[in-house]
Structure 1
Amino acid sequence: MTDIRWGILATGGIAHAFTADLRTAGLDVAAVGSRRIEAARAFAEQYDIPHAHGSYDELVADPDVDIVYVASPHSHHLEHATLALEAGKHVLIEKAVTLDADEARALRDLAAARGLLVMEAMWTRYLPHMVRIREIVAAGTLGEVRIVSADHTQRLPSDPSHRLNALELGGGALLDLGIYPVSFAVDILGPIATARAVGRLAETGADTEVAIAAEHAGGAVSSLAVSSRAAGPNTAHLVGTEARIDIDRVWYTPTSFRVIAHDGTVIEEYTSEVDGRGMQFEALYAEHLIREGRTDSDLLPFDESITIMATLDDIRAQLGVVYPKER
């Protein structure tokens, strides 16, 4: 156990995955909160958590909690992260961090006023193979990186009532899946200057397929594809003037990659060796920041999360996806 104690807000699938990895890493999970006490108790029993709360208000008020992991749907991230921040807790918020950029700005300002950490749980940024890829890019091994391509394509439930297809819950492939390749492209190439998007919408108005062609601030380009109705290769590539990196499936999880020179020579091969799913790395980084008294991540500054949300807002507008709160 460590000196920083976690509270888990909500008990859905992503909360299970995250908490399992916290346990794998030996981190201290002090409490869980749900809208139903039965769900909280079952979750607490499964992961040996001492405190189970039947409301989110009780969770954030728990004196044994230092940081809250917000695992509710996108549509409730602003509300629930605000609840935690106003209770004096640091927050790690599941991606996408909010429904839109304005909500993200509100959280940034509140966290700054309270002197608390607010961080988007884009776990891919913190994985060892991504750390190594950034080192290779920074060393100039690829030369000038001119193209990034990536897909995040899965066959997920098409039931109109499913969270992914429900606009009132922030449903759609873009925020649930597209955030991964968009954030990755921004990480490697910098902010997106212009993005052109086309897509397909479900009967609920949520997006199911999106293709994005983007130009980044430095002139490089990215090509990104997303689907919630069809499973693709889920690979990614960085193409530079001297070499490229081919990241194997599933690129946004612990995986392998190769650095290949322009003449076909393999310069480096990397294979991830990670216990669990790999979500513990973002948690460990959050704990590192808290111990140092820092309130922002240098691997994913919150202003960058806001910039990414603004890009997603623009793409949604091009697709014609409108959330109920925007009507």
Structure 2
Amino acid sequence: MQPPVPSTFRTRLLDLNFIPRFTSSQRSSQLNQKNTTMTLRWGILGPGRISYKFAHDLVHVERAQRASQSVTAIASNSNIANATSLAQKLGIDATCFGTYDALIESDSCDVVYVGTPNNTHFDLACKVLHAGKHLLMEKPFALTVEETDKILELAAEKKLFVMEAMWTKFNPVFTKCRELLESGVIGSVTRVRSDLSYLFPRDDPGMVRIYDPALGGGVLLDIGIYALTWPLALFGAPVSSTSKCVKADTGVDIADSVLLEYPGFVAYATCSGLTNQVGTNTGTLTNPAIFIEGTLGYVSVNQADQPTKLVATTWEGTIIEEFTYEPKGFGMSLEADHVLACVEASKIESPVHTWDDTKLMSRMLAGTLEENGILF
């Protein structure tokens, strides 16, 4: 457990000037390599479900960048057979390791995707960077603000690319939503509602990671981060925030509600492991996960993590624009291709999901949990 965050945390949380920033020279540091077309070799830490989805899209989704990327190494920290099983499931010839350290210390890959439990993120991130490898870290980036800052400081020092795997920001529906808001078609924003909820049964063995505080469990870090991403990514840091949570018998949060205050409007970000989000009807958005109201109309989005449909409508009922996206595979190849583009361009930071974005989210998550008596 980390020591309590200072009492001034919630004030500083929403002050972007408090977020440690890197100089322009640090941000644009060039890697010691030529900017040429390359083949990026991926190593996968953790053979679980999220790692399978990412690796599947990396190697199987048809796209122009597929030939320039490959999964060459997979590691399981419990049993090498689990890594071998994932390679077989993917139908690839990858070097398999029985420990995370063995993969990290090997010369089998250029960039590492970390899809392991939350409590392992900090140590693994530091090891990956010290080994001279680029890093795509599954969300949440780390369990504490201090850990987040240290990882990014190390990345700047080592001049290695690091990004939090916030794949939703690469989804075309998210991009379209941002464009519509910037165009002013719904006028000035007056209220925002954002939700992501999935039923996490307490007696399901597969839900141990959600209910175990030792693993960095709780729904805010698992799905609430998506609900928070929409207001934070679209409108930036709020003026203030307040939150409430319902706790499971293990002490982790199982439902959360966060109220974000912005100049002229408020945003509500909610998540729950006690119920599923109500689905959508064909052709309509009866209960949208994202609902952004403006003075002239509103935008509805059907899902917070992997949206596939957006509709912008006037208050009189006229459809301004309707946008549909059909993801290939599990929808994760877009962020993988972005990593390739950044590494090829010798960038150490994504211009789409920046380090400041990761720091702001880290502070929002930590502040919300601290406010409800949950510390890691």
Structure 2 residue identity aligned to 1:29: V
Give the CA deviation at 1:298. 1.6
Give the CA deviation at 1:196. 1.1
Is residue 21 of structure 2 the alignment partner of residue 21 of structure 1?
A: no
Secondary structure of the residue aligned to 2:160 is: coil
Q: Deviations over 1:84-104 (max 9, x none)?
A: 111111100001111121111
Secondary structure of the residue aligned to 1:192 is: coil
Unaligned runs of 5+ in 1: none
Is residue 242 of structure 2 the alignment partner of residue 184 of structure 1?
A: no
- Distance (whole Å) between structure 2 residues aligned to residue 84 and residue 266 of structure 1: 48
Identity fraction in percent:
31
Give the CA deviation at 1:14. 0.7
The answer to whether the 8 Å contact 2:227/2:269 transfers is: yes
Give the CA deviation at 1:150. 1.1
The answer to whether the 8 Å contact 1:101/1:307 transfers is: no
Q: Structure 1's 201 and 160: CA in aligned 2 closer, same or farther, altered over 3 A?
A: farther
Is residue 273 of structure 2 the alignment partner of residue 228 of structure 1?
A: yes
1:105-120 matches, cutoff 5 A: 105-120=149-164
Answer with 154-163 or 170-179: which moved more. Answer: 154-163
Structure 1 residue identity aligned to 2:248: A
Structure 1 residue identity aligned to 2:342: L
- Distance (whole Å) between structure 2 residues aligned to residue 49 and residue 224 of structure 1: 42
Q: Structure 1's 175 and 262: CA in aligned 2 closer, same or farther, altered over 3 A?
A: same
- Distance (whole Å) between structure 2 residues aligned to residue 320 and residue 93 of structure 1: 26
Give the CA deviation at 1:232. 2.2
| More relative contact order, 1 or 2 (CA 8 Å, 6+ apart) | 2
In the superposition, the TM-score normalised over structure 1's length comes to: 0.94
Q: Deviations over 1:228-275 (max 9, x none)?
A: 121123611112222211012x33214111011232210111111221
Give the CA deviation at 1:2. 6.4
Picking from 34, 42, 50, the partner of 2:76 is 34
Give the CA deviation at 1:151. 1.0
Structure 2 residue identity aligned to 1:87: A
- Give the length in aligned residue pairs: 321
In the superposition, the TM-score normalised over structure 2's length comes to: 0.82
Q: Match of 1:141?
A: 185
Runs of 4+ aligned structure 1 residues displaced above 3 Å come to none
Secondary structure of the residue aligned to 2:276 is: coil
Structure ID, larger Rg: 2
Picking from 42, 45, 50, the partner of 2:94 is 50
- Distance (whole Å) between structure 1 residues aligned to residue 238 and residue 201 of structure 2: 30
Give the CA deviation at 1:69. 0.4
Q: Match of 1:5?
A: 41
CA RMSD in angstroms comes to 1.7
- Distance (whole Å) between structure 1 residues aligned to residue 364 and residue 273 of structure 2: 20
Answer with 293-302 or 157-166: which moved more. Answer: 157-166
Q: Structure 1's 160 and 316: CA in aligned 2 closer, same or farther, altered over 3 A?
A: farther
- Distance (whole Å) between structure 2 residues aligned to residue 67 and residue 192 of structure 1: 34
